[in-house]
Amino acid sequence: MGTWRDMTKEELEKQYAPSRWSHRMDKEVVIEAHVRAVTEGTRRAQATMQTLLHVPYGGNDGEKLDIYLPTDPSGAFPLVLYIHGGYWQFLSKEVSGFIAPPLVTQGIAVVAVGYDVAPKGHLDVMVAQVRRSVAFIVQQYSKISGVYLCGHSAGAHLAAMVLSTDWEEYGVTPDIKALLLPCRSDCSAVTLSLPREVAWRNSPILGVTAATPARKACEVLIAVAQHDSPEFHRQSQEYFQALRSAGWRVSLLDIADTDHFDVIEKLSQGGYILTQVILNMISRA
């Protein structure tokens, strides 16, 4: 299979429709089940965890964070910042706290990032908002022992864009120790009907630069679901190769028996492989 540029519109729509590749459920049912799973998981987390909800990091209505704090937040603690997916068009921080329980119980703070999805949010705006959320949280909590970015699908794209941030513009230097990118999607002019130049300047693979000594300290894990589209597998492999060629510490993990949706839903489980990867990354830091 060639790149998305070689596909017909129908082929491209199929490749970019992850619900059509699920091995578990019908394409409509799997989306409904995903929304239900992350919503119920977030409700459970908020009912049992110490939280700070709707914390503004900017002036727009969508620029808010939900913070899940460890039992004793007075000392230093690592922080996992989660950026939701939804094709840059739906879902929200309000259904993004489901990953918190197995991490918070290990003394790790979790922050769910809100951003303005399309059509309200332009892709440039989304990228800038996520960058500002990182700058805000490290300024808010001076005792953070390291930031770990986790983004799913479109959220993984936004997390990857953080790697190319010029932090001098924000007046901070976040100690980003790792990125976990399950089912990373790249933007395309077809996906959001974007002008080509907008899609290109917001494409992480086009922004890959040589890893500096400081950047080599940041570990990148690209995870892909077994039952995701060949195009998503190709994008993940291509991004992995680009980072590795540029000298980054990067690995690629194919998660068996998962699709685009349960690969992230299972982060609510302490024994899940990606949950254990996050915990291992933090313990090694």
Q: Which residues are catalytic?
A: 153, 228, 260
Dihedral sign, Cα of residue 44, residue 145, residue 156, residue 114 = positive
Return d(Cα 217, Cα 126) in angstroms, integer. 26
Alpha helices in the chain (DSSP H): 9-15, 27-48, 100-104, 123-140, 154-162, 189-192, 196-201, 213-216, 230-245, 262-265, 273-284
- Tokens matching residue 26: 């019908």
Distance between CA 14 and CA 181 in Å, rounded? 22
Cβ neighbours of residue 103 closer than 8 Å, sequence gap 6 or more: 80, 110, 275, 278, 279
Q: How far apart are CA 113 and CA 62, in angstroms?
A: 9
Residues 6+ apart with CB under 8 A from 192: 88, 89, 118, 123, 199
| β partners of residue 112 | 66, 82
Distances (CA, A) of 80 to 55, 145, 148: 16, 11, 5
